[in-house]
């Protein structure tokens, strides 16, 4: 079975590489010539752990083109993984998906056999059936469920661990137009995953709702943990990590995403949660928990900003360690660190910042208003208040001697509890989120 992947960005390139590394012949397609050139030259077009390794393993099986119709015409199944940006009303926009559907449909028109189209991009409930299927039928002149099949198959991944998540999914969600489509997709994943995955087959609407429900629910967990950390900050003797580790032992709860630290961000969590609430409103009902989660996330960011401002001496400088929205990625979309820096600058504070991967994106958003440190140690040496916002492993290697003035009169706010408290407390004032001392 030959496969095509339409969209070779942050998720599409890893998907193409994963599939080709497992023995499939894969043709990637993207209108961005730099992505296509990189793939054809054997280079990773985006930064993602293990991506280059898998591309190296795929020599002879992974190619790319800017001609979407050609890619589809020469393959048996097509994965569509293009952006679905959020509109002003909070609803996901289908424009890129529908643009891709035209050449896909034209290619299907010239094929004699059954072709599978897999929509991986996140969409609003009803969009697959109401928008994608008609677009494909119009462009192809053929009938979905008879001449070709469609599956809605969103990924549950996080940037920085995309390859691992694709190879080791908790489960595979398949919304299918017909049983043949779902069975073909299951065959592909049975070959590409590291271990036999669990499959959940259903209709389009249930799969679409399940996708945004997962992210909305996860954000509630994060916000609950942050709420607990905020309470612990006011309760001497409490420890948010002890509490979340304990309640996480309850099988009804579990420990994933249950760590009080910093507001959530990134390209998926905030927008999926907002879209969940907007969907409910459009249906004439409510999603108060989603709305409350979004408000709590913003309030917690205000809480952190106020806490830093209280700690900062007059004329002092805040050092921010970590500008990406999470470790192992340079993406700063909806990054709490970027928003925190903006709030501190608005309060006329001085900010110096560092990130191992996200300095370029951060500079584009914040410019020269922020001082940019080449290393974590450089950032630490210039800060009166040093804040660890992203748990990059290298930040755990900081030493007290790296602090400004050897730590004298320096305050460290360790949001992720990375640093050895006893060691740092000997030379500076260190505060741990959710662990009042």
Phi, psi of 123 (to 5 degrees): -130, 170
Cα dihedral 314/315/321/323 (nearest 10) = 110
Examine the residue annotation and report whether 268 is marked as an active-site residue of this protein: yes
387 close to 415: Cβ distance less than 8 angstroms: yes
Q: 88 CB contacts (<8 Å, ≥6 apart)?
A: none
3-state SS string for the chain: CEEEEECCCCCHHHHHHHHHHCCCEEEEECCCHHHHHHHHCCCCCCCCCCHHHHHHHCCCCEEEECCHHHHHHCCCEEEECCCCCECCCCCECCHHHHHHHHHHHHHHHCCCCCEEEEECCCCCCCHHHHHHHHHHHHHHCCCECCCEEEEECCCCCCCCCHHHHHHCCCCEEEEECCHHHHHHHHHHHHHHCCCCCCEEEECHHHHHHHHHHHHHHHHHHHHHHHHHHHHHCCCCCCCHHHHHHHHCCCCCCCCCCCCCCCCCCCCCHHHHHHHHHHHHHHCCCCCHHHHHHHHHHHHHHHHHHHHHHHHCCCCCEEEEECCCCCCCCCCCCCCHHHHHHHHHHHCCCEEEEECCCCHHHHHHHHHHHCEECCCHHHHHHCCCEEEECCCCHHHHHCCHHHCHHHHCCCEEEECCCCCCHHHHHCCCEEEECCECC
- Name the active-site residue from 151, 232, 268, 415: 268
334 close to 270: Cβ distance less than 8 angstroms: yes
Distance (Å, rounded) from C-alpha 58 to C-alpha 60? Answer: 6
Q: Cα 199 from chain centroid? A: 22
> How many Å is the Cα radius of gyration of the chain?
24
Distance (Å, rounded) from C-alpha 85 to C-alpha 94? Answer: 8
Q: How many residues does the chain have?
A: 437
Enzyme catalytic residues: 268
């Amino acid at each position: 079975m030959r496969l095509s992947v339409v969209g070779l960005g942050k998720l599409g390139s890893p998907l193409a590489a994963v599939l080709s590394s497992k023995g499939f012949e894969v043709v990637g397609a993207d209108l961005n010539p730099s992505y296509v050139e990189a793939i054809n030259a054997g280079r990773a077009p985006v930064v993602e752990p293990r991506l280059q390794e898998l591309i190296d393993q795929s020599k002879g099986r992974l190619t790319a083109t800017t001609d979407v119709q050609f890619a589809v015409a020469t393959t048996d199944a097509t994965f569509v993984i293009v952006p679905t940006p959020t509109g002003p009303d909070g609803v996901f926009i289908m424009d890129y998906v529908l643009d891709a559907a035209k050449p896909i449909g034209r290619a299907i028109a010239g094929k004699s056999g059954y072709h599978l189209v897999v929509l991986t991009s996140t969409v609003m409930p009803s969009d697959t059936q109401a928008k994608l299927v008609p677009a494909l039928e119009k462009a192809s002149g053929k009938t979905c469920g008879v001449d070709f099949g469609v599956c809605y198959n969103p990924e549950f991944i996080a940037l920085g661990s995309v390859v691992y998540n694709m190879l080791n999914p908790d489960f595979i969600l398949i919304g299918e137009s017909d049983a043949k489509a779902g069975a073909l997709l299951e065959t592909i994943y049975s070959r590409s995953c590291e271990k036999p995955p669990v499959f959940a087959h259903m209709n389009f609407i249930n799969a679409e709702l399940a996708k945004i429900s997962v992210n909305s629910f996860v954000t509630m967990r994060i916000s609950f943990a942050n709420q607990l950390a905020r309470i612990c900050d006011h309760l001497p003797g409490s420890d948010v990590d002890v509490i979340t580790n304990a309640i996480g032992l309850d099988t009804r709860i579990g420990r994933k995403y249950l760590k009080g630290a910093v507001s959530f961000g990134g390209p998926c969590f905030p927008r999926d949660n907002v879209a969940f609430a907007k969907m409910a409103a459009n249906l004439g009902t409510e999603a108060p928990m989603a709305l409350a989660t979004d408000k709590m996330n913003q309030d917690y960011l205000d809480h952190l900003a106020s806490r830093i401002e209280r700690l900062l001496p007059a004329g002092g400088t805040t050092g921010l360690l970590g500008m990406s929205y999470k470790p192992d990625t340079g993406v700063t979309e909806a990054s709490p660190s970027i928003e925190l820096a903006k709030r501190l600058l608005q309060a006329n504070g001085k900010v110096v910042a560092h990130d191992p991967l996200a300095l370029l994106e951060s500079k584009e958003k914040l410019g020269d208003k922020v001082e940019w440190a080449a290393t974590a140690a450089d950032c630490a040496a210039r800060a009166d208040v040093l804040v660890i916002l992203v748990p990059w492993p290298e930040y755990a290697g900081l030493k007290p001697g790296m602090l400004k003035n050897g730590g004298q009169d320096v305050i460290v706010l360790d949001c992720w509890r990375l640093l050895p408290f006893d060691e740092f407390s000997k030379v500076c004032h260190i505060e741990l989120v959710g662990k009042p001392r």
